[in-house]
């Protein structure tokens, strides 16, 4: 999306809550690659989808600064829980601080470690909503690890499926990025997978919405 279109879309979208605006500023000042945060437009979409689903159980793979975590938590059902997995222990203190500031300590369970190591400890959960936003080369592994635990009609959301536009056919022979073929292969697999219904949104770096049949 071009910057003017992005700006226009944000102007006509509900503003991010003040706490999230503070987190956005802190992320840009203190973290490398702040663009990895969902940001206000995508964040409001995640909040909207969560409100519509009213999930009892949310799984997030890849917490980063916790921005998307707080957006998704806005739509939790009463007594709902959100489990979020972050591989980098250096981000733990910031995540916990903002979860506490949002009053979500009792609703958010933060797990520090590699997702494929953490997920076996969550096999008894049934997921209503899953957000996959970690290392892109493992998108398929994460999907396969959780799909059987997603309830029929449940929603999976996968971020960065445009991968900077490098998944497009015009870039197929140009990109030396080792992740690009894996992101492209995952996107193609999801388009054919009989277990899910797909909608590919060209929002920011691409969001793939998957409804489990």
Domain with residue 31: its CATH number is 3.40.50.150
Going 142 to 90 to 48 to 109, the CA torsion angle's sign is positive
Q: Supply angle C-alpha 211, 98, 27, rounded to 5.
A: 85
Q: What is the pLDDT at residue 178?
A: 85
Q: Do the beta carbons of residue 75 and residue 50 sit within 8 Å? A: yes
Residue segments in the chain with a per-residue pLDDT below the cut of 70 = 1-2, 172-176
Q: Do the beta carbons of residue 148 and residue 195 sit within 8 Å? A: no
The pairing of strands 207-212 and 150-159 is antiparallel
Q: What is the CA radius of gyration of the chain?
A: 16
Q: What is the pLDDT at residue 175?
A: 58
Q: What is the pLDDT at residue 33?
A: 80
Single pTM value for the model: 0.94
Tell me whether residue 13 is exposed, middle or buried, using C-beta atoms within 10 angstroms of its C-beta: 0 to 12, 13 to 18, 19 or more. middle
Q: What is the pLDDT at residue 76?
A: 98
DSSP the chain: --HHHHHHHHHTSPPPPHHHHHHHHHHHHHSS-GGGS-HHHHHHHHHHHHHHH--SEEEEE--TTSHHHHHHHTTPPTT-EEEEEES-GGGHHHHHHHHHHTT-TTTEEEEES-HHHHGGGGTT--EEEEEE-S-GGGHHHHHHHHGGGEEEEEEEEEE-SSGGGTTSGGGTTT---THHHHHHHHHHHHHH-TTEEEEEE-STT-EEEEEE-
Expressed as residue numbers, the domain containing 149 is: 3-212
pLDDT digits (tens, 9 = 90+) for 77-120: 999 999 999 999 999 999 999 999 999 999 999 999 999 999 99
Domain count, the chain: 1
């Amino acid at each position: 999306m071009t910057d003017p279109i992005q700006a226009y879309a944000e102007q006509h979208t509900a503003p991010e809550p003040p706490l999230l605006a503070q987190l956005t500023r802190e992320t840009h000042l203190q973290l490398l690659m702040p663009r990895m945060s969902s940001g206000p437009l995508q964040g409001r979409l995640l909040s909207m989808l969560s409100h519509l689903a009213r999930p009892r159980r949310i799984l997030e793979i890849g917490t980063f600064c916790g921005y998307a975590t707080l957006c998704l938590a806005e739509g939790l059902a009463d007594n709902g829980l959100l489990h979020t997995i972050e591989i980098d222990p250096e981000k733990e203190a910031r995540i916990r601080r903002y979860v506490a500031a949002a009053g979500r300590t009792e609703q958010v369970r933060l797990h520090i470690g590699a997702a494929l190591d953490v997920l076996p400890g969550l096999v008894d959960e049934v997921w209503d909503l899953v957000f996959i936003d970690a290392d892109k080369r493992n998108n398929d592994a994460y999907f396969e690890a959780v799909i059987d635990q997603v309830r029929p009609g449940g929603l999976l959301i996968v971020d960065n499926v445009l991968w900077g536009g490098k998944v497009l056919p015009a870039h197929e022979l140009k990109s030396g990025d080792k992740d690009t073929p894996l992101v492209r292969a995952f996107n193609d697999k999801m388009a054919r997978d009989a277990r899910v219904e797909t909608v590919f949104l060209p929002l920011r770096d691409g969001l793939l919405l998957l409804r489990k049949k």
